[in-house]
Structure 1
Amino acid sequence: MNFFRPLFISLRLWFTLTGFVLAFVLAYAVPLLFPLVQVAFVVFLFLIGLDGWLLFRTEAGLFARREVPDRLSNGDQNPLTVYLENRYAFRVDTEVIDEIPFQFQRRDVLFRAQLQARETRAIRYELRPTRRGEYSFGAVNVFVLSPLGLLKRRYQFEQGKLVAVYPSFLQMRQYELLAATNRLNEVGVKRIRRLGHSTEFEQVRPYTTGDDVRTVNWKATARRSDPRGASLQINAYQDERSQPVYCLIDKGRVMRSPFEGLTLLDYAINASLVLSNIALLKQDRAGLLTFSDHIGQLLPADRRAGQLLKIMEVLYRQKTRFQETDYESVYATVRTNIRQRSLLLLFTNFETVSGMQRQLPYLRRLAKDHLLLVIFFENTELRALLDQPTPDTEAIYLKTIGEKFAYEKKQIVKELGQYGIQTILTAPENLTANTVNKYLELKARNMI
């Protein structure tokens, strides 16, 4: 049984057997062909035996290894590699079937490769997970055919591997790298000119060409004057640091809507991770609060080493709930635990003005003590509907309803702005860039 378990029959063998059946039928009608068909069939049986001997005479004729990261990035294309090594003394054809996790719902992970004797080959492909959690990989199945191509021998490697899918750390690294090289404009982040200067004093230093003459410190200049001439001294300022930045993530039912495979909650989580990293790079303190019908987890703002890892671990465990969000509990938690004025980025979704107005009293109270930025989403499916032509009365009716909903989104932005509440209305795919843009704009305007 151990011999027959890895043994499989190729299509070439089935087709050849079908041909011999037809040949024997023809030989029944033409007896002169019968001896020739018999000899050919005996030769064919010998070739089958030879093929089996070639494939099974070497105990480990082929080696394969799957290289998969310990963590996958949610919503991104993650590279995977299958390495093949032919240890036979002849050329082989291979069929590689990788048993990927069921969450991907794919049945097309099949690769074919031809390897010469002692050749090594790398097969690369990508997977895009759309849910956080643990993913279980199965075996790497490699079917080997000799040059005769009649039989197949199956090899199995990498029996089971558990991989965790985390929030989009690949996107976070991309933004971090572009920020370090001043190329954030490549992902849609605008260059924002800082207005004025911050009020955090750094030092008194000598004046150099290009400094703002309004920062001249005349008293220090008088004290340091010498007979050869006065040396101007200026006050040097630095960017204000250690400003608390909190991402408030709504996990209620309004965040379960899927767009391109990801829920709104996953878009918010990915954007929160990127923004927290950018805030830490800007020397601000990053924190986190998750909530739905009750408060989830509160991570106080900090910028010490390991804070980003704590944020990632908290975001990894978040799940949407079907209940309506309790904003009263959010306000009470913020008032109790966040005493210093902070930038609060509230990731939520409002579909109607009436839905927003029910929560408006709590939003106004939050905006009274903190700088509140409400981030909610455009309905991209609705936008696609509005761009379509209207060939009949039903299409006109649907488009009219869609325009009403789109107008309500704009009304929400307008009404929140009347109370001094900052807003971002964005498509899910543009969430990260728009959020980082707004954060940099608020810092440039010295609002935080």
Structure 2
Amino acid sequence: MAIGAGLIALAVASPVLGLVAVVYHAGLVIIATRDLALLPGRSGYVVKRMVPEPFSLGEPEGVTIEVENPAAAGLWARIADHAPGGLRPAPRELPGRFDERGVVKLGYRTYSPRRGAYTFGPVDLQVWRDEGWWRRQVRVPLPREVAVFPNVVAIKRIQLSLRRGLRAMAGMRRARPPGASTAFAGLRDYVRGDDMRRVSWTATARRDRPVMVEVEAERGQQVIIALDCGRLMTAPAGDLDKLDHAVNAALMLAWVAQAYGDRVGMMTFDDDVTGFIKPERGAAQLRRITEALYAIRPQYVEPDFGHAMTHLALRVGRRSMVVMLTDVQDPEASRELVAHALRLAARHLVLVVAMSDPAVLNARDAPIDTTSRAYEWAAAEEFVASRRESFELLRRGGVLGLDVVAGKLSPALVERYLELKERALL
């Protein structure tokens, strides 16, 4: 085009150059028209979007876009999916090339920091030839409603581990206190420190190496998950807020407890009891709990622990393990929680679970190299120490406690449940 513009400028000096400019531009039009004709038209593209069903809260997951058009075989492509910004899609543009069948399949990653419903929009596609002059852009409508549920991917991982007989914490073995009722759980190889009274001599003779008999605590207990949805649970803790960390942990605990034969129930509360699912077993119960966890939202109100635990005591008569997912602060701020947890512990096994904010722990553990850092360290240390004091008050009253970094809450809670199960404390 620059050369053509130069020929037009020189045509003023010579009519011959004017004729050359006309011929030159006619050639450009022919070449450009031919290049455009070699690109497929706007119709004929078949686009598919493969997404997780459902998306999992706080879990990196993949979305795949597949475009098919036999007329586009061998052409270059660039795809942009109109994914919801709340899913944090990356990268937003995907370069690729159609294969000999006219198919291109590209993927990108998502990360879902919030539960809820989201809508995908159309897919934009650019297609061009090697050293081509044109790019044809096509927009293919592809609306789709998706939902971000509590982390079901983590459930699938632990499900696979349990099927393989693995444990989340290596080296832990089943145990029981004297007099606890037990059931046969399987055989395993001898490990130094095992009780020789549990050697299976028949299996040892057959395998030609020491084999131990594993036992586990009796099944059929009750686990109640009490989930605080009040103001303090709205605080961020890493990529998720504390309530979403608690939602993921509650779902994983419900699944593991159900897999171990226990009945699982759930209560949600803020300044009032907002939901109660009575303890049951089975897949239908897990669906009810999952749907309830998907729907809950935090409220900017102070939780009423007295009302919640009184409601729980009236609805649950049988001794159960009550897992209270909440936030613990200094003894004065947590006075109501401590008092009512101690009262509930007279009949039930109560476990109070709280999450430490990674930012606070980093402020306490980072080097102190400036005056401002010294003040920051002092504030973080005072906050952590006050939490320890509250947990100590709970422990003295017979209430179990678990204080863990938010990002490690789910596996830590499952391990604590399995430990209590094996010690037959439920």
- Range class of TM-score, shorter chain: 0.7 to 0.9
Find the partner of 2:176 among 195, 201, 204. Answer: 195
Residue 50 (structure 1) aligns with: 34
Find the partner of 2:248 among 248, 251, 270. Answer: 270
Moved more, 117-126 or 188-197: 188-197
Q: Secondary structure at the match of 2:403?
A: strand
Q: Secondary structure at the match of 1:242?
A: coil
User: Cα gap change, 1:248/1:435 in structure 2, threshold over 3 Å: closer, same or farther?
Assistant: same
Q: CA deviation at 1:350?
A: 1.6
Q: CA deviation at 1:94?
A: 0.9
Find the partner of 2:160 among 155, 174, 177. Answer: 177
| 1:332 counterpart = 2:310 | yes
Find the partner of 1:68 among 51, 58, 82. Answer: 51
Q: Deviations over 1:16-67 (max 9, x none)?
A: x5x45764587479979766555443322222222332235x5634332111
Q: CA deviation at 1:146?
A: 3.2
Distance 1:430 1:107 in 2: 25
Paired positions, count: 400
| 1:155 counterpart = 2:138 | yes
Q: Secondary structure at the match of 1:118?
A: coil
Q: Secondary structure at the match of 1:78?
A: strand
Distance 1:238 1:108 in 2: 48
Find the partner of 2:323 among 341, 345, 351. Answer: 345
Kept after mapping to 2: 8 A contact 1:253/1:320: yes
Q: CA deviation at 1:378?
A: 1.2
User: Cα gap change, 1:176/1:37 in structure 2, threshold over 3 Å: closer, same or farther?
Assistant: same
Kept after mapping to 1: 8 A contact 2:226/2:324: yes
Query: Please, what TM-score do these two structures have when normalized by structure 1?
Result: 0.82
Q: Deviations over 1:322-374 (max 9, x none)?
A: 00001111122111101101001100012322111232221111111110000
Moved more, 90-99 or 385-394: 385-394
Distance 1:398 1:211 in 2: 54
Find the partner of 1:368 among 337, 346, 371. Answer: 346
Distance 1:247 1:149 in 2: 62
Q: CA deviation at 1:198?
A: 6.4
Unpaired segments ≥5 residues, structure 2: 185-194, 199-213
User: Cα gap change, 1:62/1:23 in structure 2, threshold over 3 Å: closer, same or farther?
Assistant: farther
Distance 2:179 2:104 in 1: 57
Distance 1:398 1:353 in 2: 21
Query: Please, what TM-score do these two structures have when normalized by structure 2?
Result: 0.86
User: Cα gap change, 1:20/1:299 in structure 2, threshold over 3 Å: closer, same or farther?
Assistant: farther
Q: Deviations over 1:275-318 (max 9, x none)?
A: 11111111111111110111111001111341111111111101
Kept after mapping to 1: 8 A contact 2:394/2:400: yes
Question: Where do residues 45-444 of structure 1 align in structure 2 (5 Å cutoff)?
Answer: 45-55=29-39, 58=41, 60-88=43-71, 91-104=74-87, 108-147=91-130, 149-185=132-168, 188=169, 191-196=172-177, 199-200=180-181, 239-444=217-422
CA RMSD, Structure 1 to Structure 2 (Å): 2.7
Kept after mapping to 2: 8 A contact 1:65/1:157: no
| AA of the residue aligned to 2:114 | R
| AA of the residue aligned to 1:175 | I
Q: Secondary structure at the match of 1:55?
A: coil
Distance 2:154 2:31 in 1: 55
User: Cα gap change, 1:133/1:35 in structure 2, threshold over 3 Å: closer, same or farther?
Assistant: same
Distance 1:337 1:292 in 2: 17
Moved more, 237-246 or 288-297: 237-246
Q: Secondary structure at the match of 1:60?
A: coil
Kept after mapping to 1: 8 A contact 2:70/2:103: no
Q: Deviations over 1:361-407 (max 9, x none)?
A: 21111111110000001121011112322222222122111111121
User: Cα gap change, 1:320/1:92 in structure 2, threshold over 3 Å: closer, same or farther?
Assistant: same
Distance 1:381 1:89 in 2: 51
Kept after mapping to 1: 8 A contact 2:175/2:216: no
Moved more, 106-115 or 255-264: 106-115
Q: Secondary structure at the match of 2:333?
A: helix
Distance 1:167 1:303 in 2: 20
Q: Deviations over 1:194-231 (max 9, x none)?
A: 1246644879xxxxxx9969xxxxxxxxxxxxxxxxxx
User: Cα gap change, 1:404/1:433 in structure 2, threshold over 3 Å: closer, same or farther?
Assistant: same
Question: Identity, % of aligned pairs?
Answer: 24
Distance 2:13 2:326 in 1: 81
Residue 423 (structure 2) aligns with: 445
Kept after mapping to 2: 8 A contact 1:386/1:402: yes
| AA of the residue aligned to 1:247 | I
| AA of the residue aligned to 2:267 | L
Q: CA deviation at 1:321?
A: 0.6
Unpaired segments ≥5 residues, structure 1: 1-16, 204-209, 214-235
| AA of the residue aligned to 1:319 | R
Distance 1:279 1:107 in 2: 36
Kept after mapping to 2: 8 A contact 1:60/1:87: no
Q: Secondary structure at the match of 1:313?
A: helix
